[in-house]
Amino acid sequence: MEQFTLNLIVVGLTFALYVGIAIWARAGSTSEFYAAGRGVHPVLNGMATGADWMSAASFISMAGIIAFGGYDTSAYLMGWTGGYVLLAMLLAPYLRKFGKFTVPEFIGDRFYSQTARLIAVICLIIASVTYVIGQMKGVGVAFSGFLNMSYEMGLWTGALIVAVYAVLGGMKGITYTQVAQYVVLIIAYTIPAIFISLTITGNPIPALGLFSNTAAEGVPLLEKLDTVIQDLGFASYTAQTDTTLNIFLFTLSLMIGTAGLPHVIVRFFTVPRVADARTSAGWALVFIALLYLTAPAVGAMARLNFVDTMWPNGPQQDAIAIEEMPNWVQNWERTGLLAFEDKNGDGRIEYWADEEKNEAVKVDQDIMVLANPEIAGLPSWVIALVVAGGLAAALSTAAGLLMAISSAVSHDLIKSMINPDISEKGELMAARISMLVAILAATWLGLNPPGFAAQTVALAFGIAAASLFPAILMGIFSKRMNSQGAIAGMLAGLLVTVIYIFLHKGWFFIPGTNSFTDDDPLLLSIKSTSFGAVGAMINFVVAYVVSNATQEPPEEVQDLVESIRVPKGAGAAQAH
Amino acid sequence: MSDRQSSNAYWRANIRTIWICIAIWAFVSYGCAILFRPLLSGIKIGGTDLGFWFAQQGSIITFVILIFAYAWRMNRLDREHGVEE
C-alpha cells in the first residue's frame, strides 16, 4: 500500500474517533460549555491538559531544537514543565474555588473593575491568537506534506473537525477529544523513540538511553556525540554557550508564562473539587513529562544518527557519496527540509559547521522527529501514526486556545459588558457563535500567516508572564492589592515587555524597524525572548507602590480573597 | 470568629509549605541545572556532569514529585483545619 493511502486511513480513523466523542459529549448548558460541567476526573483532566499544552512545536520541533542547541535549550525543558509547579501551588486551586468560568472574570471580580477585566481580555486574546496561528500552520503543513492534499484543503479539513467538536461540545467536547488526542500523540512519539534508543544504546527506555553507552563502541552516548560534532567544528553539545543570566531569565520567563497562559489555567476549572485541581496539575505534569523526558533523548540520538549517516566512517575518512544516500535522506530532500550542494564536485556531501565548506546546506530541525521512523527502518504504519500524532498535537492545542478566546468574547465581553441581561440559552448560543468566528479567524490567519508568525511565541509568553501571571498571583496572595495597583502593574509589565520585544524584533514585527538584535541586546545579555520575567518584576513593583499609595480594597473583596483561600464550599460556588 | 482563626492558621501553614516547595523547585532548576552547574562538574553521570542531568531530566522528575507531595500535604492540612470539601 502506498504510504499516503496508509496515512489517510490512520488519520481518518483518528478523526472519526474525535467526531464520535464530540457527538457523545455535547454541551447543554453554559457550565458544560465553559467548564465541562466541572465533572472531569483529575487524571483525565491531566491527560487533556497534556494534549492542550503540547503543541505542534512540542511534538515536531522541540527534539530538533535540543538536537542543534544542546545544553542551552534545556531552558525549554525546565521552563515548559516547571510552570506546572507554580500552577499547582499558586493559582489552580484558588481559581477553582473562585468557581467561575474565565481568567478575565477573576481579574475583573477580584479587582472590582471592568477596566482590569478588559485589559485581561486584551492580553488573553493577543497571547492566544498569536499562539493559534502556529497550530493552524502545523495542521496545513501536515496535510500537504503527508496526505497529498493542498495546504488550503488541509487547513479547512482540520478547521472543520475542530469546529464539529468545539462548537457542539465546548469545553466538554474539547476535554474528551483532548484525552483521545493525548493517547494518539504519546504513542506516536514514543514508538519511534524506543526503536532509535534500542538501535543506538540497546536500552528500550529513551530517557535512560541518553545517559547510557552506545551499543557499537561502548562509550557514553553524550561523550561520543560531543566528540563527533566538535570534530566537525560545531559547539560542544553538553557545554554552555549562552550567558548564565540569559539562560536563567529565559527559563524563568517560560515558567511563569506557562503558569499565566489562560488556555492552560481554565483546564483546572473543569475538575469537581479544589483538591482535584492540585492533583490534576500533578497528573498533567506526569503526562507531559512522558514526552519531555523522551524529547532530549530523541534529539541527541537523532543528531548522532545524522552525523553517522553523513560520515559513515567518521570525519577522518571520506564523506558519504551522493549515490549511497539512504532512502530517507532522498525522501526528505524532496520536501525541502534537507538540501545538499556538492560544492567541490567530488560526488560526496561533506557536513561541516563551517559554512564555506559545508555541503549539507539545509538541515531543518524538524527532520529530527519526522524522519525518525524511516531512519530506524520502522514499518510504514508507524510513519502514518507519527502524522496522526502531529495532527493530534496541533488540533488539541488549537482547540484549547480557541476555547479561551471564544469564552473571553462571549462571557467577558458580551455577557459582562455588552448585554448583561442575556439569558443562559442566549449566552450558550453566543458562545457557540463566538467559537465559530474564532475558528474562521484562526483559519484565515493560517491561510494568510503574517510574516512574523514564527516570532510571536515570545510575545505570547512575554504577555502571559509580565501581565496575567503577576495580576492573578497578587489577587490571591495579597489582600491589600487594589484595583489601581493591579491595573498600573499589568499595564507597566505589558508595555515594557512588548516595547522590549519590538525594539529587538521590529515594531509590530515589521522587518528593519528594530534598533537592537538578540545577539547584541539592549540590556546586559537579556534577549527579547527572556524579558517576560523582567516585565513580571516591573509589574510587581509598580503594583505594590501604587496600591500602597491608594485606598485599600472594599470589605467584600477582602472577604472574597478569604474565601478563595480555603477549599470548603467550592461545591456551592457551582450554582453561580 | 474561631472559623476565621482556624483559616488563618491554615493559610499560614499553606504559605510555609509553598515556600519549602518553591525553595526545592528553584534549587534543582535554577541551582543545580544553571547556577551551581560549574560546582557540580566533578560529579560524572553517563558521559557528562550532574548539572546537565538536572537540566534535562532531574528537574522535571523533581517537579512531578513536588506537586504530588504538595497535594498530599494540603489534603492533610485541609482535614486538620476542617476546611476540606
Query: How does DSSP assign A378-412, residue by residue?
Result: --HHHHHHHHHHHHHHHHHHHHHHHHHHHHIIIII
Query: What's the gap between Cα B56 and its chain centre?
Result: 18
The pTM of this model reads 0.92
Residue B44 inside a domain? The answer is yes
From the number of C-beta atoms within 10 Å of its C-beta (0-12, 13-18, 19+), residue A380 rates as: middle
Residue B35 inside a domain? The answer is yes
Top CATH class of A3-189+242-295+386-447+456-573 equals mainly alpha
Which of A165-169, A247-251, A432-436 is the least confident region?
Answer: A165-169
Hey, are the CB atoms on A565 and B21 less than 8 Å from each other?
no
Mean pLDDT calculated for residue range A74-84:
95
CA distances (Å), A277 to each of A29, A42, A200, A474, in order? 22, 7, 40, 19
Which of A493-507, A512-526, B54-68 is the least confident region?
Answer: A512-526
Hey, are the CB atoms on B48 and A211 less than 8 Å from each other?
yes
Which of A119-123, A331-335, B39-43 is the least confident region?
Answer: A331-335
pLDDT at A234: 92
Domain boundaries in chain A?
3-189+242-295+386-447+456-573
Residue B72 inside a domain? The answer is yes
Residue B85 inside a domain? The answer is no
Q: Cell digits for A331?
A: 525522501
Q: What percent of chain A has pLDDT over 70?
A: 98
Segment holding A298, helix H or strand E: helix A295-310
Band (pLDDT 50/70/90 cuts) for residue A279 is very high
Q: How confident is the model over A376-390, as pLDDT tens digits?
A: 778 888 888 988 998
Mean pLDDT calculated for residue range A535-543:
97
Band (pLDDT 50/70/90 cuts) for residue A576 is very low
A137, pLDDT greater than 60: yes
Segment holding A349, helix H or strand E: strand A348-349
Q: Which range has highest mean pLDDT (A132-136, A378-382, B50-54)?
A: B50-54
Taking an 8 Å Cβ-Cβ cutoff, which residues of chain B contact chain A?
4, 7, 10-11, 14, 18, 21-22, 25, 29-30, 33-35, 37, 45-49, 52-53, 55-57, 59-61, 63-64, 66-68, 70-71, 74-75, 78, 82-85
pLDDT at B1: 41
Contact A207, A290 (CB under 8 A): no
Query: How does DSSP assign B13-81, residue by residue?
Result: HHHHHHHHHHHHHHIIIIIIIIITTTTTTTSEETTEEHHHHIIIIIHHHHHHHHHHHHHHHHHHHHHHT
Please name the member of A207, A224, A248 whose beta carbon is closest to the beta carbon of B30. Answer: A248
| Partners of residue A90 in chain B, C-beta under 8 Å | 18
Hey, are the CB atoms on A281 and B61 less than 8 Å from each other?
no
pLDDT at A375: 78
- Among chain B residues, the shortest Cα distance to A212 is held by B46
Q: Which range has highest mean pLDDT (A182-196, A308-322, A413-427, A562-576)?
A: A182-196
pLDDT at A451: 59
Q: How confident is the model over A199-217, as pLDDT tens digits?
A: 899 999 999 999 999 888 8
Mean pLDDT calculated for residue range A472-478:
96
CA distances (Å), A236 to each of A69, A232, A502, A573, B48, in order? 9, 10, 32, 55, 11
Angle formed by the axes of helices A151-201 and A380-407, nearest 10°: 120
Residue B25 inside a domain? The answer is yes
pLDDT at B4: 63
| Residue span of the structural domain in which B15 resides | 2-80
User: Mean pLDDT score of chain A, rounded to an integer?
Assistant: 89
Please name the member of A89, A281, A296 whose beta carbon is closest to the beta carbon of B56. Answer: A296
Please name the member of A213, A289, A562 whose beta carbon is closest to the beta carbon of B60. Answer: A289
Smallest Cα–Cα separation from A259: which of A25, A112, A476, A113? A476
Q: How confident is the model over A498-513, as pLDDT tens digits?
A: 999 888 888 877 778 8
A123's CB contacts (< 8 A; 6+ apart) are A463, A464, A467, A468, A490, A494
Q: How confident is the model over A380-431, as pLDDT tens digits?
A: 888 889 889 989 998 999 999 999 999 999 999 888 888 888 898 899 999 9
pLDDT at A572: 47
Pick among B11, B25, B29 to test the A interface (most A CBs inside 10 A): B29
Number of domains making up chain B: 1
Residue B69 inside a domain? The answer is yes
